[in-house]
A and B are shown apart, each in its own frame.
Chain A
Amino acid sequence: MADGWIIVVLLVGAAATYVWRALGVALSGRINPGGPVFEWVGCVAYALLAGLIARMIILPVGPLQETDLGSRLLSAAIALAVFFIMRKSIFFGVTAGTLALIGFTVGGVRMF
């Protein structure tokens, strides 16, 4: 395919991304931040993100598909446990979870 075509694709992709941000700005001016509609939108945002994160761990798309589901779940659990033990340290939690997954994968551990 021609070089020009990929630029068109990238521009369309950027527009399809930005349109949500612009809509968000436009709508935010019409919604009362103290009212129930605003509260509901916040719940939708948090549910969407939690769904996205859980999907990235349980049903990943891309290279993580090759790793074992049990290893990913256990690594996520380790990350959470270390995070809380180390007084909510994101650094230690993330490091522990990532090293756990690398360790399980290198060691060829399969839970299921």
Chain B
Amino acid sequence: MTGTATPAGSKARRTMFLVAAREAVGMPSIVLGASYVGFGSLVRESGMGLWLGLFSTLSAWALPGQVALVELYGVGASLLVIALAVALTNARLMPMTITLMPLIHDPAVPRWRYYLYSHLVAVTAWAFSMRRCPEMPRDVRLPYFVGFATVLWLASLIGTAVGFALADAVPQSVTLGLVFLNPIYFMLIFATDLRHRARVIALGLGAVMGPTLHTFSHDWGLMLTGLIAGSAAFGADRLVARRRG
């Protein structure tokens, strides 16, 4: 019975994997690759080898944490300090993974595999999947996410290598522009999807509180922003819903 259903399903999954990969090849890859060009040149400046830089992008793949690690290593910080700084910088990955998993969950896929796929959770693929997946049949959502993220992962590796090779060869103003691409791109990704009221409030409050709390604590500022602004947005959304309901 399922013998006839599965081949058709697996074809749809393969198609979606390729569709997602193609969607990722343009702007998303260029922007992320360019950001990793910045990381690659930082790796060169800090005296680490190319292979170590690539290993970092392969094994961690979350840019702010990688930058923090290389900079702290450069100034000779202790292992504990580095581990804490990286962990705090990347705490955002937990709420992101929690919200993405139910969306891409396929009962036919063994649960342990999601521990492998979760390594691909990062801002760009997450934001695209959060927007695109609810419109898709359940069994092609996971291939969409994995296809999209895999291309971005490859682009990050290429960017790291290119940045390492180009360090010092590119004018300072161009490097600055490349570094600036990243926040601008993220800002616009979130500006494309403003349908969900609670999330819009969270984005607004977070944008105001992020820099403010950062001046009070570089380590905890972002975590506190998420918890305080997120909770306030959640509460405000409930209040509005109750008044209207």
How many residues of chain B are within 8 Å of chain A by beta carbon? Answer: 98
Cβ contacts under 8 Å, B209 to chain A: 47, 51
B95 adjacent to A50 (CB under 8 Å): no
**Nearest CB of B to A87, in Å:** 11
B185 adjacent to A67 (CB under 8 Å): no
Identify A27's interface contact among B94, B111, B226, B231, CB under 8 A: B94
Q: Does B24 contact A (CB under 8 A)?
A: no
Residue-wise, chain B 83-121 has the 8 Å CB interface mask toward A (1 for contact) of 110110011111111111111000000010011001101
**B103 closest partner in A (C-beta):** A33
Cβ contacts under 8 Å, A48 to chain B: 91-92, 95, 206, 222-223, 225-226, 230
List B residues 1-35 near A (Cβ within 8 Å). Answer: 26-27, 31
Cβ contacts under 8 Å, A23 to chain B: 94, 97
Identify A41's interface contact among B67, B95, B210, CB under 8 A: B95
For B26, B65, B121, B183, the residue with the greatest tally of chain A CB atoms inside 10 Å of its CB is: B183
List B residues 196-217 near A (Cβ within 8 Å). Answer: 198-199, 201-211, 213-215
**A11 closest partner in B (C-beta):** B59
A24 adjacent to B98 (CB under 8 Å): yes
A14 adjacent to B59 (CB under 8 Å): yes
Q: Does A2 contact B (CB under 8 A)?
A: no
B173 adjacent to A102 (CB under 8 Å): yes
Identify B121's interface contact among A14, A15, A24, CB under 8 A: A24
A90 adjacent to B208 (CB under 8 Å): no
**Nearest CB of B to A43, in Å:** 4
Cβ contacts under 8 Å, B71 to chain A: 62
State the CA gap A7–B36 with chains docked (Å): 20
List B residues 49-70 near A (Cβ within 8 Å). Answer: 52, 55-56, 59-62, 64-67, 69
Given A10-B55, A76-B184, A94-B181, the answer on whether A45 and B67 have CB atoms closer than 8 Å is no
A9 adjacent to B79 (CB under 8 Å): yes
A13 adjacent to B69 (CB under 8 Å): yes
B181 adjacent to A98 (CB under 8 Å): yes
Given A6-B73, A46-B199, the answer on whether A58 and B99 have CB atoms closer than 8 Å is no
B226 adjacent to A20 (CB under 8 Å): no
Chain A, interface SS category: helix
State the CA gap A19–B119 with chains docked (Å): 10
State the CA gap A57–B234 with chains docked (Å): 25
A24 adjacent to B96 (CB under 8 Å): yes
List B residues 163-189 near A (Cβ within 8 Å). Answer: 172-189
Q: Which residues in B have some Cβ–Cβ distance to A below 8 Å?
A: 26-27, 31, 38, 42, 48, 52, 55-56, 59-62, 64-67, 69, 71, 73, 76, 79, 82-84, 86-87, 90-103, 111, 114-115, 118-119, 121, 123, 172-192, 198-199, 201-211, 213-215, 221-223, 225-231, 233-234, 237
A-B contact pairs, 18 of them (CB 8 A): A17-B61, A41-B95, A42-B198, A45-B226, A48-B230, A49-B206, A50-B207, A51-B211, A51-B213, A51-B221, A55-B214, A62-B42, A64-B180, A75-B180, A76-B187, A88-B192, A93-B188, A105-B177
